[in-house]
Amino acid sequence: MRLRIGVLAILGVAAVTALVLGLTSVLVVRTHRAALLAQLTRSADQLSETIGRSTYYDMLENRRPALHREIVTIGQQKGIDKVRLFNAVGTIMFSSDEAEIGRSLDRQAEACNACHAAGQPLHKLSPRARARIYQAPDGHRVLGMIRPIHNEASCWNAACHAHAPGETVLGVLDVNLSLAEADREVAADQRHLALFALLAIAASSLLLWWLSDRLVLHPVAALIAGTRRVAEGDLHTTIPDAAPNELGDLARAFNDMTRRLSDAQRQLTQADKLASVGRLAAGIAHEINNPLTGVLSYASLLLKRPEIDAETKQDLQVIVRETKRCREIVRGLLDFARQTPPRRQPTDLNEVVRHGVAIVMNQLALDRVALDFDLAADLGPVPADGNQIQQVVVNLLINAADAIDGDGHGTIHVRTRAVSAPARGHAVVRNATCPKGCELQDPHVRIAGQPGIRVMRIVGARESIVHLDPVYGRLHHRDTGAGEEGVVPSYTCPDCRARLEVAERRCEACGTPAFAVRAGELGSIEWCPRQGCTWTRWETMDARGPESFAELIVEDTGRGIRTEDLDHLFEPFFTTKGSRGSGLGLAVTWGIVEGHGGSIDVESSVGEGARFTVRLPCARPPVVEATAPVIPDAVRSPSLSDPARGAA
Amino acid sequence: MSQYWDVLVVDDEPVVRDAVRLILREAGLSVAAAEDAESALAHAALATCRLVICDMMLPGLSGLEAVRAFRRQRPALPIVLITGYATAGTEAQSADAGATAFLAKPFDDTELLTLVRHALEPTDVAGKKGRP
């Protein structure tokens, strides 16, 4: 039989309580009974002594009627069963029970038993030995106390001359006290003790049940359920871990374990997906590019024939154009698989946007989506890779068009503008490390698309992982444990446990020692550790003053993005379009913007559309320098910026 | 009678060989073709041609190995490598192996001709180039 821990504990405690209380009760009852008996024995002895003395003269003077009266009177007292006198040979001479006067007692009778069985003279026996307990015919117990009446000189010198000087014991006084009262008292004691024991067992069991249910069974049940869910493959399982005890520690360790498992699994899946897309791209490139070479070559040769008519020429142009589009698709896949660094040149962002719009125009017209332009005239050249930025524009436009259901009411607003903004609010920490150099940036937990900064927060004995918002000044931290307003936790590196507090820096708002992470050559970014305090400082970036950006805003009136999807939007293979989406568009977009040292922001609410804001730095030299191009410029097709294609 | 070829094209895909041959012929260049490196090395054209266009992924000897083999016979011969799958390191690899230029498939006639003319220019003394 399988018993739950709680039931076993309760049964155990009940058994121990029962045993201890039972033994105590037995001991108490016995002691009580013995004390009662001893007291009654003393009373009986005293009584027999009193009777002996008060009847002395009646006996000496042989006043039998008086003696008889006295014995009967005493025998009628409450608690006294019987008082009687029998002579040396056992004949009952006097008794409060008049019916037995004259009867002879056998030596085996319990009244004689004390002396005659012991074979000792009666007068030498202790009161305890002279006492006996027996059961009366009606069932109640009786304490009998015998007292020998010894022969004395006054007896044999008395006028009656009834006794000879040679006799030792003349008779025995036998006093019988009822034990009914005492027995009732002991029985009541026993009942009280049993009741008390039962109550104690019930109370301790109840307390134990409550404690074990609350402290052990409940958390253990949650842990078991969590383990089952993990076993079934749900690695996002968390269990309540607030208990300040070992089970709470276990729950926290469990949550940490599942989180790490889930991270590891996600990384594996991601790596696997990337490897698959890489293989797929290579396979497609190899298999498709050869036939495409044939199509492109023959079609372009045919185009040059002077004898072809205008209609054929147009058709051939379609073939060339579409083949080149295929080439771009394959190239795009390869680009994604190997993340080509941008080749930056001064670029007119407005021009790139116009080309991008031209490319998607057909699709927008089909979906009956209205397009709205607002291109800033004062936008200077942006150091950017025109092809890549055009891909960004196309991706954002296609995305916006897809978000609109095509009922003819959707609008896409495309805007560009020059902005000058301080670092606070947009500068992104990209390579955060702890003082010992451990990587803190976590690509798996993104805050509005940017990898969060993973740190360990410690409050007392509680540790929790917090992802700090990498956008300077925004403070949208991702927090798994609930923080308490005003509490000052300490922060450490989750890998090497180095403390992140900076001794010489204090929060300028509340004076609490600040904590910081390093951002490579861009110095340190500091935060106030006190919960609820919003102070933060990135000196290097503040010192740079406002920076110029070219901003591209693509806004749609589509269905919007759910909050839970916002953080995953830029992950490769994440799509909300089902089989229609590859999940690569925004991932590529993010990669391109990131490669330009820019940032991309999303704001959206469900049902009200979405706004993507791309910011490209205008002046600052590129963070990632372009490497040698894979394909020589001379032969690399103008790809997406090809005006011929754009016009289509 | 010994035959003269301007260009030797090496590709295991007939459609690519034919397309290259057609484009170059239209430009007035004579073209010999081989389907792998081994037959190219044995081809009479290798001794006299002015340019080799070679695929990188060939059965048997790879394109990079073929470039080294061609170079042993013709140290100054311009060689253009073509491939359907170019990775970030491909161009460096092809340059290391001794290729003169590199072209990603698919290409159209203009792209191929631009590159071929560019490759032929320094060694062009006979004035074959530029023929209508």
Task: Provide the CB-side half-sphere exposure for A95 (13 A, CA).
Answer: 19
E strand residue ranges, A368-523: 370-374, 382-384, 411-421, 441-447, 450-459, 462-468, 478-479, 490-492, 501-506, 513-518
| B7-120: in CATH 3.40.50.620 | no
Question: Residues A272-285: pLDDT tens digits?
Answer: 666 676 677 767 77
Asked if A290's CB is within 8 angstroms of B16's CB, the reply is yes
CA A257 to chain centroid, in Å, comes to: 13
CA distances from A457 to A33, A467, A485 (A): 67, 10, 14
Which helix (DSSP H) or strand (DSSP E) does residue A92 occupy?
strand A92-95
Judged against a pLDDT cut of 80, whether residue A162 lies above it is answered with no
Angle CA A308–A313–A314, to nearest 5: 155
Judged against a pLDDT cut of 50, whether residue B125 lies above it is answered with no
Taking the Cβ of residue B26 and every Cβ of chain A, the question of whether any pair is shorter than 8 Å is answered with yes
Nearest CB to B109; choose among A300, A323, A340? A300
Question: Residues A476-524: pLDDT tens digits?
Answer: 888 766 667 777 888 999 888 888 888 788 888 888 889 999 988 888 8
Nearest CB to A634; choose among B18, B84, B115? B115
**Which phi and psi angles does A92 have, rounded to 5°?**
-75, 120
Mean pLDDT, residues A200-209 taken together = 87
Nearest CB to B22; choose among A297, A627, A635? A297
Closest CA to B80 of A440, A631, A412, A504: A631
ipTM at complex level: 0.85
Asked if A630's CB is within 8 angstroms of B108's CB, the reply is no
Contact A473, A489 (CB under 8 A): no
Judged against a pLDDT cut of 50, whether residue A256 lies above it is answered with yes
- All residues at 6 or more sequence positions from A59 whose CB lies less than 8 Å from its CB, including other chains: A67, A149
**Residue A397 distance to chain B (closest CA, Å):** 28
Q: Which residues on chain A are in Cβ contact (under 8 Å) with B114?
A: 634-635
Question: CA-CA distance, A293 to A53, in Å (whole number)?
Answer: 145
> What confidence score (pLDDT) does residue A200 get?
87
Contact A524, A518 (CB under 8 A): yes
Q: Which residues on chain B are in Cβ contact (under 8 Å) with A338?
A: 87-88
Q: What confidence category does residue A341 fall into, taking pLDDT thresholds of 50, 70 and 90?
A: low
Taking the Cβ of residue A285 and every Cβ of chain B, the question of whether any pair is shorter than 8 Å is answered with yes
Q: Classify B115 as helix, strand or coil.
A: helix
Taking the Cβ of residue B23 and every Cβ of chain A, the question of whether any pair is shorter than 8 Å is answered with yes
> What confidence score (pLDDT) does residue B41 get?
92
Nearest CB to A293; choose among B19, B87, B114? B19
CA A481 to chain centroid, in Å, comes to: 11
Q: State the CB neighbour count (10 A cutoff) for residue A228.
A: 11
Taking the Cβ of residue B92 and every Cβ of chain A, the question of whether any pair is shorter than 8 Å is answered with yes
Contact A413, A353 (CB under 8 A): no
- All residues at 6 or more sequence positions from B54 whose CB lies less than 8 Å from its CB, including other chains: B9, B10, B11, B37, B40, B63, B66, B67, B70, B79, B80, B81, B82, B99
Mean pLDDT, residues A288-314 taken together = 90
Question: CA-CA distance, A408 to A178, in Å (whole number)?
Answer: 111
Asked if A290's CB is within 8 angstroms of B84's CB, the reply is yes
Burial of residue B17, with CB atoms counted within 10 A of its CB: 0-12 exposed, 13-18 middle, 19 or more buried:
buried
Question: Residues A582-614: pLDDT tens digits?
Answer: 666 787 788 788 788 888 888 888 888 899 999
Taking the Cβ of residue A323 and every Cβ of chain B, the question of whether any pair is shorter than 8 Å is answered with yes
Nearest CB to B108; choose among A289, A300, A631? A300
Mean pLDDT, residues B91-106 taken together = 82
Q: Delineate the domains of chain A, giving CATH numbers in brackets.
A: 5-185 (3.30.450.20), 240-338 (1.10.287.130), 341-421+546-647 (3.30.565.10), 441-544 (no CATH)
Question: Which residues are bridge partners to A599 per DSSP?
Answer: A615
Q: What confidence category does residue A337 fall into, taking pLDDT thresholds of 50, 70 and 90?
A: low
Residue the block writes with tokens 């459609």:
B15
Question: Residues B24-77: pLDDT tens digits?
Answer: 998 999 999 999 999 999 998 888 899 999 998 888 888 889 999 999 999 889
Which helix (DSSP H) or strand (DSSP E) does residue A148 occupy?
strand A141-150
Q: Are strands B51-55 and B79-83 parallel, antiparallel or unpaired?
A: parallel
Arithmetic mean of pLDDT over chain A:
81
> What confidence score (pLDDT) does residue A631 get?
30
- All residues at 6 or more sequence positions from A405 whose CB lies less than 8 Å from its CB, including other chains: A558, A559
Q: Which pTM value belongs to this model? A: 0.43
Taking the Cβ of residue B81 and every Cβ of chain A, the question of whether any pair is shorter than 8 Å is answered with no
Asked if B22's CB is within 8 angstroms of A298's CB, the reply is yes
Mean pLDDT, residues A531-544 taken together = 86
Closest CA to A151 of A60, A90, A64: A60
- All residues at 6 or more sequence positions from A394 whose CB lies less than 8 Å from its CB, including other chains: A356, A359, A360, A640
Q: Which residues on chain A are in Cβ contact (under 8 Å) with B15?
A: 290-291, 293-294
Asked if B90's CB is within 8 angstroms of A334's CB, the reply is no
> What confidence score (pLDDT) does residue A298 get?
92
Contact A434, A440 (CB under 8 A): yes
Asked if A320's CB is within 8 angstroms of B105's CB, the reply is no
**Residue B93 distance to chain A (closest CA, Å):** 11
Judged against a pLDDT cut of 50, whether residue A65 lies above it is answered with yes
Asked if B26's CB is within 8 angstroms of A297's CB, the reply is no
Asked if A301's CB is within 8 angstroms of B23's CB, the reply is yes
Residue among B85, B94, B117 with most chain A CBs within 10 A, to mutate: B85
**Residue B26 distance to chain A (closest CA, Å):** 8
Taking the Cβ of residue B13 and every Cβ of chain A, the question of whether any pair is shorter than 8 Å is answered with yes
Asked if B18's CB is within 8 angstroms of A293's CB, the reply is no
**Residue A314 distance to chain B (closest CA, Å):** 17
Taking the Cβ of residue B3 and every Cβ of chain A, the question of whether any pair is shorter than 8 Å is answered with no
Asked if A629's CB is within 8 angstroms of B85's CB, the reply is no
